[in-house]
Structure 1
Amino acid sequence: MPPIPPLHADDPEGPAGPAGAGAFALTTLTMRADFLRAASARRQGTPGFLLQARQRRSDEAAGSGVRVGYTCSKKIGNAVVRNRAKRRLREIARAILPRAGQPGWDYVLVGRPGATVDREFAALRTDLDTALARIHGAPAA
């Protein structure tokens, strides 16, 4: 999978930061077993969503890139609301994980009822930055 291009052609920063610093492609989790392994690993709650993260073992497939999954239960709402919540989660992951995620890790973003759809988009981005910093042991900015 090729690297993710900037959101706008004239945006040198793009989702991966200045000049693609630390940029790598995101792979989407599709197998239930991967979601279950992430659910039993580290968790960090935020007002907008729950972040589950785990470092893959060296003998696992999928190389050293970042894999990400999204889940929203029926508690969030009907299909339209769930899909909107997942679109928002996908967009913050696309913007933040290439620069702040760690290669060799799996991340699952779990939507929260009411919050994921209604929370300001900038606040969701800040939530993901803060959650990643706490998961990886760095002080939150």
Structure 2
Amino acid sequence: MAPSFILQMTSSEIQEKRIGYIVTRKIGSAVTRNRVRRRLKEAVRHVFPAQITEGQDYILIARENALTQNFSELEKDLLWSLRHVQRLDREKQDRNKPAADKIHV
């Protein structure tokens, strides 16, 4: 788990890349929340374009550390989190596929 954010991914019927940002009042004033949102957006701009797939929606929920964490660490955490949720999604899809070798005639 990343100390600066929580990343969630869900399938979407819309075939485009969509990313949502949630920064609650717990983070601080409006100025602070906007700064956190801008930092997350910039990290996403650097990391996501080559990594995300269409037909998936991504949600970044900011934590308090998002404001103070080193930006390169923020990008590393974002890349790790993205790969992690994509791996979990693939595993979920594999579990739901019917296995051809289980069918006996």
TM range (shorter): 0.7 to 0.9
- Please list the CA deviations of residues 22-62 of structure 1 after superposition, one character each: whole Å capped at 9, or x if unmatched: xxxxxxxxxxxxxxxxxxxxxxx311111111111xxx3x3
Q: Give the aligned CA root-mean-square deviation in angstroms.
A: 1.3
Whichever residue aligns with residue 85 of structure 1, its letter is V
- Is the partner of 1:53 in helix, strand or coil? strand
Whichever residue aligns with residue 40 of structure 2, its letter is L
Match in the other structure for 2:19: 68
Match in the other structure for 1:47: 3
Q: Which is richer in helix?
A: 2
Match in the other structure for 2:74: 124
Q: How does 1:46-125 map to 2 (within 5 A)?
A: 46-56=2-12, 60=13, 62=14, 64-113=15-64, 115-125=65-75
Q: Which has the higher contact order (CA 8 A, sep 6+)?
A: 2
Structure 1: which 5+ runs fail to align? 1-44
Number of residue pairs matched by the alignment? 88
- Is the partner of 1:136 in helix, strand or coil? helix
Q: Which runs of 4+ in 1 moved over 3 A?
A: none
- Please list the CA deviations of residues 82-135 of structure 1 after superposition, one character each: whole Å capped at 9, or x if unmatched: 00000001111111111111111100111102x000000001100110001111
Structure 2: which 5+ runs fail to align? 89-105
Pair 1:137-2:87 in alignment: yes
In structure 2, distance between residues paired with 1:106 and 1:130: 17
